[in-house]
Amino acid sequence: MTGGQARGSARASIATLSQTGRGRRAAREASEGLWIGVATFGVLFVAWYALTTLTHTISPGRFPAPAEVWDALVQINVTGYADARLWQHVLHSVKLVLLGFFAAILVGVPLGLAMGASRAFEAFVNPPFLLLRPIPPLAWIPLAIVWLGLGDAAKVLIIWFAAFVPAVINSYSGVRTIEPHLIEAARMLGVPRRLFVREVLIPGAMPMIFTGLRLSLQACWTTLVAGELIGAIAGLGHVLYQASLDIFPAMIVVGMASVAVTAAVMTVALGFLERRAMPWRQSR
């Protein structure tokens, strides 16, 4: 074995060592994070149990005890509450949100990209957009009811509006945060327009677009619950409405938890899409 080979293999083994070391540290940090998360929920649950069931510091009229929430959960799953079982309410809500959400992405993202890419288009579209934009989706509820009645069409319209505004704003500011060098380089190289949109504009704006989509999803749920609180025959907002009429804090908690779990599942799906769409971007 020559000296060169020995040095080479030594260097290689050092590289492997430091790589596995880094991998191990990352894995340890991930599992630590998981344990801290589990411990946090554990501590909170014990505190909840202690404050309600054990010491009655919090009266049942203000916040329910764990056992009451469990009973309410069993009730809505077995016998149903507010005219349907839990999964039927969830399905109804999810259907409405997805319809409004995807319709808003289809219209909002291209509009925002175009506004970011062209000052002339921005100047034309911005004034009416600025007039309508500050009107919150929830403020359209009374108007949507007058126009479309109490059915699902009015709710989809309002959800669409809720998701549309964040989709436009973030696609727009996504384009504006692209490094000028990239745009200038593409311009200098005479990249055709379609290629420019596909290779520079969309990838550059992608991080902001996904931030926008996350916020959109959130806005959709807010709007859906408000719409269903005001008038509906099914859905999670309807459960909340019925529970607050009945002054049934345990069922309010079940309704809120169902809204959170369903939305969390959808956001995890969106996060998966985000990683698939932007493999070049690694978070620390």
**Exposed e or buried b for every residue in 36-58, given b needs 16+ CB within 10 A?**
eeeeeeeeeeeebeeebeeeeee
CB of 20 to other proteins, least distance (A): 21
Cβ nearer to other proteins, comparing 66 with 136: 136
- In this chain, which of 215, 270, 277, 278 binds other proteins, going by CB under 8 A? 215
What separation in angstroms does the CA of 139 have from each of 3, 144, 150, 227, 241? 78, 9, 15, 10, 19
Q: What is the CA radius of gyration of the chain?
A: 26
Token pair for 248: 């049934």
The site string for other proteins over 165-194 (x = CB under 8 A, - otherwise) reads: xx--xx--x-xxx-----xx-xx--x--x-
Does 279 bind other proteins (CB under 8 A)? Our answer is: no
Q: Does 199 bind other proteins (CB under 8 A)?
A: no
| DSSP output for 174-233 | HHHTS-HHHHHHHHHTT--HHHHIIIIIHHHHHHHHHHHHHHHHHHHHHHHHHHHHHS-S
Question: Minimum Å distance from CB 63 to other proteins?
Answer: 8
**Site membership for other proteins, residue 211 (CB under 8 A):** yes
Q: Is 230 a residue that touches other proteins (CB under 8 A)?
A: yes
Q: Are 116 and 171 in contact (CB under 8 A)?
A: yes
Q: Which stretch binds other proteins (CB under 8 A): 1-9, 84-92, 105-113, 242-250?
A: 242-250
**Closest approach of other proteins to the CB of residue 151, in Å:** 16
List 218, 270, 277, 278, residue binding other proteins (CB under 8 A): 218
Question: Could you give the 3-state DSSP secondary structure of residue 283?
Answer: coil
Given the complex with other proteins, which of 77 and 118 has the nearer CB atom?
118
